[in-house]
Amino acid sequence: VPSCATAAAQGMVVRTNTDKLRAMRRLYLELLLSDHNSFCTPPCRDACPTHIKIPQFLDYISHGDYENGVRKLREDLPFPAILGRVCPRPCEGPCRRQLVEHPITICWLHRFMADQCLDAEQEGELLLPVAPKPDTGKRIAIVGAGPGGLSAAFYARLEGHAVKVFEAMPKPGGMLRYGIPSYRLPRNVIDKEFNMLWRLGIELQCNTRLGVDIQLEDLTAEYDAVFLALGAFNSNEMGIENEDAEGVISAIDFLGELELKGDVWVGEKVAVIGGGFTAMDASRTSVRKGAKEVTVLYRRSRKEMPAHHTEVDEAEEEGVKLELLTAPVKILTDERGHVRGIEMVRMELGEPDASGRRRPVPIEGSNYVVECDQVITAIGQYPKLDGTSEEQGIKRTKWRTIEADQWTFQTANPKVFAGGDVVLGAQTVIQAVAQGKKAAWSMDAFLRGEDMRRVSEELAELNATPFFEALSAKTDLDPRIVRMAEIKPVFIDMTTDVTHPEPPAEMPKLDPEYRKHNFEQIELGLTEEEARRGADLCLDCYCPANGKCDLQRYSIEYEVFKNRFHGQAAHNYPADFRHDFIMREPNRCINCMRCVNICRQEVGSSCYDTMGRGFNAIVSTADNLPLQLVGCVSCGKCAETCPTGSIETNPRVLTSYELDESRCIFCGECVEVCPYNALEQGDFFELADFDRKKLAVSPLFVREPKPIDPLRETLTDLVPHVLDTLKGEGWQWSPLGGDGARDGRQPTKESTTTEKGD
C-alpha cells in the first residue's frame, strides 16, 4: 500500500527498504534524470594529475579575460605556457565532447592564454592565484630545479615561506631544458615563465650537486624543511651484449649533450630503441642533426606506444621510420668496436602485464639485423640518488627510488620530503607538477606543527571513504589538509544536447619539409579567434552543486549512472543570470516543484510555476520574466531548497547600501522579508543593521537612537492609516519599491500616484 495514503494502525509493520521499493525508487530516479541535461563534475579535471579547473579557465578564454584565466590556472598549475607545449594531455582522453566528435584541445588552449600574458608579466603585475601570505620566518631548501621542485617552490612561497632552490645543472628546468628539444619547448618560454619565481623572491643556486657541493646534513641543519626533487637522469640499460660499444648512447645523454654543448654527434643510420616521448625526441633530433636514416624500434604495437599519437605522427611526417613488435638482442660491432648494427627479434603480444599493456613475447627463429652506426636507447630512466643514504634517514626502494609517505611525501627523516621522479620513477611533467604542489602543502603543514602521522592517516582514510561520505568528512578537517586529498568522484553519464559536430581548435604547424632542418618551434600557436571558438565548445560539465545535490546522492546510492530514458533530443535552455543574487540553470531542473512550493507557501511571492506540458514542461517564471519583475524578494529560499543546483545564489559582499529616504515610507517590509534577519525596526521605524561590518551604514541604518524630526513624526502617525486603507482595497506593496504589486498585478491609472507632490 502507498504510505502517503495509508493511516498508521496498531501492530502495523512498515518496510522502507525492500527490493521492490528500491526498484521503484530506481525507476523514478531514472525518470527524473530523463531531462536533467547537466553533468555533475568534469572528467577532464579528474584525469589531470594536478586537477586544474578546466571548465572555469575555458570560460575565461571565451570571454577574453586571459589574465584572470591564468590566475585560475595557477591555482593548480604554475607553468601553463610550458605545460601547454609538453603535457601528454591526460585530460583530453575522457573529455565528453568526444561523445559528439573530438575532445577539446585543452592544452593548446591554456598555452594560448598563457602566451597572451607572458611578455606583460615579465615586469608587470604577477598573475598569481592569491597574494603570498605574510612571511612565516620558516625556510625551505629544494634540491632540484625541475618541474616538481619549482612547483613546490612556487606553492611554498605562496604559503609565506622563504625558499631556496639548489640545482646541479647550469640552468634551471631539469628535464624541461635538458630532456626536451627546443623545437617543442623554446628556451625563452622556459626563462620567461620561470621569471615569475625569481620575482616572488625565490632564490636559485645552480651548479650545485647534492653530495658534492652541498650535503644533506648541512641543509637539514640550516633549513626548516628540505624537499628532494632530483629527477630521473639515469637511463635503464637494455641488458644485451655489447651495450657499451662505441656509438651507443642513452637518449637522455644525447639530448643533454646537445643542450649543454650546442652540438652532438649523430650517425648516418640511427636506431632508436623505445616508444615513449624521449624516443620520439631523440629520433626527431637525429633527423634535424643530419642523420640520413632514423628508425624507431619498439617492442609493442603502435597502440601501446607511451608517446602521444601526435608526436608519433609528426615524427613520421619528418621521415622517421617505425618498426613495431621488435626487441633488441645484441649490438653488432666492427673491428674497431663501433656499432655496425643491432640484432632484433620479432615479438607478438601476449597477456597484459602490470602496466595493463599486453606483454610482448619473442617469436622463436625470427631474429634479423638492422644496420646502423648509432644506437640511441630510450627505454626508461631512474633517479640519481647521489648524496642520500639510509644513515641520513633516506630509505630506498627496490625500484631505485626514495621511500616517502604516499600522502605527505615525508621520508624517514622528518625534515626531509621527496616527490616527483625520485619517488615515482620517471613520470610525466604534469605528474611532477602535481607532486610538487602537494609536497609544498605538506611541508606547510609540517612547519605549522601538524602531526604528520595523523595527517597521513586522515588523508588515507579520506581517500578510502565513499564519495559522499568523504565530502561530509571534509567539513570536519582543516581545509589546508583536505586540499591534499584525492577523493575519487563518481560520474553519472547524461545525454548531451549537442547534435551538430564542430571541429576542435586546430594548431597551425610548420611544414615538415621545412621544420626537419631546424629547431624552430613547430607548433605556432592558436589565433585568438580559433582559441575562443575552441573554448566555446566546452560542454561545461562543472556543476556548483556537485557533492551537495540530492539527485546525485540518490543516483549513486541506487546505482543509476546512465540516462536510459532520454527518448527525445535534450532540452538546452539558456541560463538566467538577470537577477543579481539568484542564478537559474534550467537544464538542471527536474520539475520537483520545491521552489514553487516554498516561494508560494512560505514566502508568499509565487514567483515560479510550471510552464508547458509533458516532456516540454519546465519550472520558470511567468512569461520567463526576470525574477525581479515577478515579486522576488531575493530571500534565496528557492536556492536553499533546490536539490540539483538548478537555482544557486551568487555570493555577495555588500560594501555599500544606498537608500532613498525621500521615497521610503518606513513600512518595515524589508525587515519582514529579509531571510537572514540582517535588519531590525525600532519603535520609531528606525532600521539598524546589527553592527554588521560588511554593510555600510546609511543615514537610515542607525546604531543608536537619533532625534526624530517633525516630518518623520508625522509619517509615523500617517503610515499605518495609509497601509490600512491600501490593504482594504486589496493592494500589497511590492518589495521592489516600484509600482508593481507583489502578486504581479499592475496598479490602475486611478490608483497610481506621482512623486511630484511628495
The pLDDT tens digits of the residues spanning 324-354 come to 999 999 999 999 999 999 999 999 998 888 7
Distance CA 180, CA 172 (A): 13
Cell numbers for 271: 636506431
CB 85 within 8 A of CB 111: yes
SS (H, E, C) 499-525: CCCCCCCCCCECCHHHHCCCCCCCECC
Q: Say how far apart CA 752 and CA 136 lie, in whole Å.
A: 64
- When pLDDT is cut at 50, 70 and 90, the band that residue 697 belongs to is very low
Q: Which three cell numbers stand for residue 567?
A: 527518448
Residue 672, C-alpha cell as written in the block = 519582514
To the nearest 10 degrees (0 to 180), the angle between helices 106-118 and 187-199 is 60
DSSP β-ladder status, 339-352 and 326-333: antiparallel
Q: What is the mean pLDDT of the chain?
A: 86
pLDDT digits (tens, 9 = 90+) for 6-51: 888 898 888 888 899 899 989 988 888 877 777 888 999 999 999 9
Task: Kindly report the backbone phi and psi dihedral angles of residue 526, in degrees, each rounded to the nearest multiple of 5, phi listed first.
Answer: -75, 150
739 pLDDT above the threshold of 70: no
> By the 8 A CB rule, do 236 and 274 touch?
no
Distance CA(591)–CA(617), nearest Å, equals 8
Supply the pLDDT for residue 709. Answer: 45
For the chain, count helices (H), then strands (E): 25, 22
For helices 106-118 and 66-73, the axis angle rounded to 10 degrees is 120
Domains of the chain and any CATH numbers: 139-233+383-449 (3.50.50.60), 234-381 (3.50.50.60)
CA angle, 76 then 80 then 85, to 5°: 135
Which amino acid, one-letter code, is at 443? M
Amino acid at 430: I
Calpha distance 231→148 (Å, rounded): 8
Q: Is the pLDDT of residue 728 over 60?
A: no
Helix 277-288 × helix 309-317 angle, to 10°:
20
Residues 6+ away with beta carbon under 8 Å from 758 = 662, 663
Q: Which amino acid is at 391?
A: E
- Has residue 689 got a pLDDT over 80? no
% of the chain at pLDDT higher than 90: 60
Q: Which helix (H) or strand (E) holds 350?
A: strand 339-352
Query: Which of 192, 146, 107, 191 is CA-nearest to residue 523?
Result: 107
pTM above 0.85, yes or no: no
The residue among 640, 599, 637, 649 whose CA lies nearest residue 619 is 599
How far apart, in whole angstroms, are the C-alpha atoms of residue 484 and residue 469? 17
Buried b (16+ CB within 10 A) or exposed e, 557-585: ebebeebeebeeebeebeebeebeebbbb
Q: Is the dihedral of CA 290, 292, 297, 302 positive or negative?
A: positive
